[in-house]
Amino acid sequence: MAAQNHRFAVLDGWRGIAALGVAIYHFRVYSHIAAMPGMQGAYLFVDFFFVLSGFVISYAYGDRLARWSDIGGFAVRRFGRLWPLHAATLLFLFLFEVAKSDAARHGWLHPAHPPFDPAGFYGWASLPTNLTLIQALGIHDHLSWNTPAWSICVEFWMYAVFAVLCWSGKRSLVIGGIVCILAGFAGLFMAGKGMNVSYDFGLFRGLAGFFLGHFTYRLSRSRLAPSRDWLGSCEFPALAAVALFLIFAGGDRITSVLAPLLFAPVVLVFAAERGAVSRAMRAAPIAYLGAWSYSIYMVHGPITDIIMSLAAAAERTLHIPLHSADQARTAAPSLSFGGNAYLGDATILAYLVAVIAMSALTYRWIEMPGRRFFNDLVSRPRVQPAE
């Protein structure tokens, strides 16, 4: 059972740009770039990923999960899409923590948290839950290891819910999808934290976004769907709506919960691939960003953690003032460079170059081989027993 193979090239391009936006958001540096209007809401692009995933998975597999054997093949393929790079980043961070432990023992570094400290990101107890993709199901009371990977955990379990609902029948899929959306928003409003939830209420966040994406796909294939030309004319208004939402409704405001309701029509607009923006999004650099988007999302966390750990260690060891006095996320950023915003801009640009370069490598040497390996597991012809 193989997926349909049409690629939504424009949506892929937006996925790459959104992944860079999340990467900048997580890289806490005093700079003009980080202070741009709407940047504090860039974490909401994760909800764009959820909506987009619901749309694309519904296109690729919505009519192909009628039997348990179909669900098994689907699960293996999706696991193979997510897990190899996830496991590789975990291994890298584990080895980095071992190296940090050795450096601290010799007095070369003075990290903020002892290596493998349960109070930090890299505790022993959270390693197996991360490895098995269950770390964001309310098990822990904090983010751990490759912190952006909480959404990968949620994504995988959204696949499972979707597959079971597809197997149950079309009516169950419709009713179950509506229930998932309502439950998702109810959980988010009960959390009272806006959309900035992850290890605790991330599952609700995924439910709301993924199944809104599913119904967006159903709308795009229905008689009620707007014409593609009309959708093409909506591209600039859609971008303006996203920008205004990030500026005025992002951050930790309760209104941020509405992000999936905005991203669903945005996905519908750009899935049509008809407007001037879509034509520009087909440029080769954007296409590469789209292809590398998952790697960008997964490697930016380790690169960020390494830079911040080394900066903190340098400050403690060499007494170089790199950080601001206030470390709160909502106040001053982590790295201030003595208030030099231009140095911060240069640091962010260098960081993005490193993230993109590493993503190209991990896509080529980890993502693609891992995907082929797991796909081959369910694509090999079965050997018939001799009679």
| Widest pairwise Cα distance in the chain | 79
Helix then strand then coil, in percent of the chain rounded to 5, is 70, 0, 30
Tell me if 1 is assigned to some domain. Answer: no
In a domain, 166, yes or no: yes
Q: What is the pTM of this model?
A: 0.90
Determine the pLDDT at residue 326.
Answer: 44
Residue 4 counted as domain residue: no
Residue at 348 is within a domain:
yes
CA-to-CA dists, residue 326 to 26, 30, 245, angstroms: 17, 12, 28
**Alpha-carbon span 122 to 205, nearest angstrom:** 24
Bridge partners of residue 193, in order along the sequence: 195
pLDDT for position 219: 94
| 385 within a domain of the structure (yes/no) | no
The residues, any chain, with a CB within 8 Å of residue 77's CB and separated by 6 or more, are 3, 374, 375, 378
User: What's the pLDDT score for residue 194?
Assistant: 84
CA atoms within 13 A on the CB side of 2: 8
Has residue 372 been placed in a domain? yes
Number of domain units in the chain: 1
Residue 26 resides in a domain: yes
pLDDT for res 102: 78
pLDDT tens by residue, the chain, 387 residues: 555 667 789 999 999 999 999 999 999 888 899 889 888 899 999 999 999 999 999 999 988 888 888 899 999 999 999 999 999 999 999 998 888 777 767 666 666 667 787 777 888 889 999 999 999 998 888 899 999 999 999 999 999 999 999 999 899 999 999 999 999 999 998 888 889 898 888 999 999 999 999 999 999 998 888 899 999 999 999 999 999 999 988 777 788 899 999 999 999 999 999 999 999 999 999 999 999 999 999 999 999 888 887 777 666 666 666 665 444 343 344 777 777 888 889 999 999 999 999 999 999 999 999 999 999 998 765 544 444
Q: Which domain holds residue 162?
A: 9-379
**Residue 68 falls inside a structural domain:** yes
